[in-house]
Amino acid sequence: MAESIEAEPTETIEKVGAEPAKIVQVTTEVTTVQEPVTDHVEVGVIWTPGFIVVFALMLIIGLSADSLLVQARDNGYLPGNGILTVHVILIFVTWVAIIAWARSAWTRLGGIFGCIWAIFLTLNLVITAYPVNPNAPILAHLNAAYSSALLGCYICLSMERVPLRRWDAWFFSIAPFVAVCFVLALFLLTPAADRSFSTIEDAIVGIANILSFLVWWARPSCWETEPGVTFLFGVAPLTILLLSIPGLANGDTNFFFSELLLLSILLGAIRFLQGELRWKALHAC
C-alpha cells in the first residue's frame, strides 16, 4: 500500500512536467481608413510684388508726363533743355543712392561713372540752352566725356551679379582693339583738310555708344541674369545711335526720344538700386 501511494504522485508530477507549454499569440489587426478622393484642387493665390506694381506705374506715368512735356515745350511753356535737365538730376540722385547702398567695388565705381556722366551731360544742356555754335569745340569735349563716362558706368554695372563666361571674356578682350581700330580708321578716312581733334572726339562718341549698347545686349549672360536692367540700359545708347542718323526724325520726335532714353536710364538705375536693397535686406536677416 505504501509503495503504491508513493508511486502515484511521482507519476503525476512527470506527466505534468512533460506536458508542453502553450503559447498564446495575440494578433492585432490594423485597419486603415482611406478618404475618398475628390477632383477639387485648391489653387493658391499669386501675389504680385509691390515693386513690380510701383515700377509699372512709374513707367506709365513717366511716358505720359514726357508726352505732355513735349506739348508744353512746343507751346513755349517750358524750355526743352530744362525738361531734360530735370530728368538728368533725377538720374544723378539715383546714382548717388546706388553709391551709398553699393555692396561691391564694381557697383560703387559704376555709380561714380554715372554721376560723372550726369554732370557732363548737365553742362552740355546748360551750354546748349544759349545760342552756341553747334561745331564749338567745348560741345565735342563734353559729348566725348559723357559718352565715355556712360560706357564706364555700363561696364562696371554689368560686371555685378553677372557671371563672366567664355563669350564675355572674348568680348572684353576684343572690344578695346576694335574701338582703337574704329577711331583710327575714321580719322584716317577723313580728308586731311577736315582732320582735327574734334574728329577723334566724334569717333570716340560713336564707338562709346556702340559699345555701351553691346555691353548689355550682346552678352547672353546679362539677359539670363538681369533681363530688365539689360533691356532698359540698352535702350538708351540704341536710341542715341538711331537719332544720330540724319533725316530719321524731326525736332519734336528727337526731343521725345531724348526724354525716353533718359527715362530708360532712370528706370534701369532704380531697378538696379532695388536689387542692391533687396540683397542687403536678405543678408541682414
In angstroms, what CA-CA distances link 202 with 184, 190, 246, 247? Answer: 12, 12, 15, 19
Could you report the per-residue pLDDT of 207-241, keeping only the tens digit for each?
999 999 999 999 999 999 989 999 999 999 999 99
- Cβ-contact 140, 201 below 8 angstroms: yes
- Cβ-contact 209, 226 below 8 angstroms: no
DSSP 32: -
Could you report the per-residue pLDDT of 162-178, keeping only the tens digit for each?
888 899 999 999 998 98
Angle between helix axes 137-158 and 197-217 (nearest 10 degrees) is 20
Please tell me the least confidently modeled range out of 31-40, 130-139, 268-277: 31-40
Residue 249's pLDDT band (cuts 50, 70, 90): low
Q: Give mean pLDDT, residues 149-174.
A: 90
Cell, residue 175:
572690344
Q: How far apart are the first and last CA of the chain?
A: 100
- Cβ-contact 262, 65 below 8 angstroms: no
Residue 103's pLDDT band (cuts 50, 70, 90): confident
**Cα–Cα distance for residue pair 205/149, rounded to 1 Å:** 10
Query: Comparing C-alpha atoms, which of 27, 91, 57, 35 is closest to residue 264?
Result: 91
**Torsional class of 45: left (φ above 0), alpha (ψ -120 to 50), beta (otherwise):** beta
Which has more pLDDT, 89 or 3? 89
Determine the length of the chain: 285
Query: So what's the pLDDT on residue 96?
Result: 96
Which has more pLDDT, 144 or 10? 144
Phi/psi of residue 249, nearest 5 degrees:
-150, 165
pLDDT averaged over every residue in the chain:
81
* H helix and E strand count, the chain: 10, 0
**Cα–Cα distance for residue pair 79/260, rounded to 1 Å:** 17
- Cβ-contact 206, 227 below 8 angstroms: no
Over pLDDT 90: what percentage of the chain?
Answer: 39
**Cα–Cα distance for residue pair 101/93, rounded to 1 Å:** 12
Residue 161's pLDDT band (cuts 50, 70, 90): confident
Could you report the per-residue pLDDT of 106-121, keeping only the tens digit for each?
999 999 999 999 999 9
Q: Is the pLDDT of residue 247 over 80?
A: no
DSSP SS3 for 36 = coil
Could you report the per-residue pLDDT of 9-67, keeping only the tens digit for each?
444 444 444 444 444 454 444 444 454 444 444 444 444 577 788 888 888 998 899 88
**Cα–Cα distance for residue pair 99/80, rounded to 1 Å:** 29
- Give 186's contacts (C-beta < 8 A, 6+ positions apart): 199, 202, 203, 206
Query: So what's the pLDDT on residue 115?
Result: 96
Residue 183's pLDDT band (cuts 50, 70, 90): confident
Query: So what's the pLDDT on residue 285?
Result: 61
- Cβ-contact 73, 79 below 8 angstroms: yes
Dmax (CA) for the chain in angstroms is: 158
DSSP 201: H
Query: So what's the pLDDT on residue 185?
Result: 85
